[in-house]
Amino acid sequence: MLKYSVKRLLYSAIILLFVMFIIYTLMYVMPGNYVQTKAMELATKPGATKSADEWLADLNRQYGMDQGIIKGYFTWLKSAVKLDFGDSWKWNKACTKVFSERIWYSFALNVITMFFEIIIAIPLGIHAARKQYGFADYFATVFSMVCISMPSFFLITVLKLVFAVKLKWFDLTGMIDPRIHDSLSDFGKFLDIAKHYVLPVITITIISIGGLMRYTRTNMLEVLSSDYIRTARAKGVPERKVIYSHAFRNTLIPLITILGGSLVSLFSGAIITEQLFGLTGIGQASYQSMVVGDIPFTMFYLMFISILTLLGNLLADLLYAAADPRVRLS
């Protein structure tokens, strides 16, 4: 197991170096207008002591963009290893500081969403497989396809119209109610924030459960048609034990693939959902930074997403080996 883990970790490190090079190359070949605009902004600030050309040269030098792609990449990589990603042009503070201030809002949102996704999608997928071609199966199939096909911005608009505009149960946007938040107790402030998380959680849950439900149903159907399941039933093993102790355990590897990929969403934020609901998470910060051409934060965010993706795949590989020892031999 140790040899397998080290091997996968080395593969991930090599892939990360290539991904970071691609990220740097994309930023390097971007139109110079973004950098020039930032240089002009710095030069026109009150008390500025440098011209726009001097600021432009400084910005290019800071990220190695005056040295060519290869040398510039290693200059940026050297700073990245030290966790020095420079200051965000949009937020006027260190990229890591922006990240630390916003990440936990996104993390809380996606942990809650993942919890509801798992407790809703997996049981429904199992039940649909058990009742193949029955009402429950058809309902789960239609419902999952609707969830998969539903654009998040459309669902958000409908939820806002119904629950915020018509019923007035929730605010249209924001994480707090500014009219009463400061006068509330600590627990009241917590409830105020929780209230503003309800619609975003519903949105992401509805969009997410369709794929996991279909995946669970498909794999359960395949396992339930296996010879050992028929043998277990013929021997009189209780149906509940057949389903959950024998069949479901053998669908874990496909489900691990799905859940391993969910690690990215836990920390990367739901960009569209956070932006439209006005949640100050990392997803909203990344969206607004990309719109204005905030190269430092965009590079940091893309690298962070790449690391999370590799960690998710690495975690899934290790869980494969734990669930099925034969994986270690392949």
Tokens 């916003």 belong to residue = 102
Token pair recorded at residue 309: 């993706």
Distance in angstroms (rounded) separating the CA atoms of residues 72 and 24: 8
Does the pTM surpass 0.75? The reply is yes
Tokens 């934060």 belong to residue = 297
Grouping H, G, I as helix, E, B as strand and the rest as coil, residue 280 is: coil
H/E run at residue 330:
none
177 Rama sector, left if φ>0, alpha if ψ -120 to 50, beta otherwise: beta
What pLDDT, on a 0 to 100 scale, did the predictor assign at position 195?
92
The full set of domain ranges for the chain reads 2-81, 95-329
Grouping H, G, I as helix, E, B as strand and the rest as coil, residue 302 is: helix
What pLDDT, on a 0 to 100 scale, did the predictor assign at position 96?
92
What pLDDT, on a 0 to 100 scale, did the predictor assign at position 1?
65
What pLDDT, on a 0 to 100 scale, did the predictor assign at position 97?
93
Average pLDDT by stretches of 10, the chain with 330 residues: 77 90 85 71 74 78 79 88 87 91 90 91 90 89 90 92 92 87 87 92 91 88 87 88 83 77 72 90 90 88 89 80 62
Is residue 265 within 8 A of residue 273, CB to CB? The reply is no
What pLDDT, on a 0 to 100 scale, did the predictor assign at position 271?
87
CB atoms within 10 A of CB 59: 21
pLDDT digits (tens, 9 = 90+) for 201-257: 999 999 889 888 988 898 898 888 888 888 888 888 888 888 888 888 778 777 787
Phi then psi dihedrals of residue 87, to 5 deg = -95, 140
Range 95-329: architecture per CATH: Orthogonal Bundle (1.10)
pLDDT digits (tens, 9 = 90+) for 255-270: 787 777 777 776 776 7
Beta bridge partners of 87: 94
On the 0-12 / 13-18 / 19+ scale of CB atoms within 10 A, 304 is buried
Distance in angstroms (rounded) separating the CA atoms of residues 144 and 269: 23
Distance in angstroms (rounded) separating the CA atoms of residues 277 and 157: 10
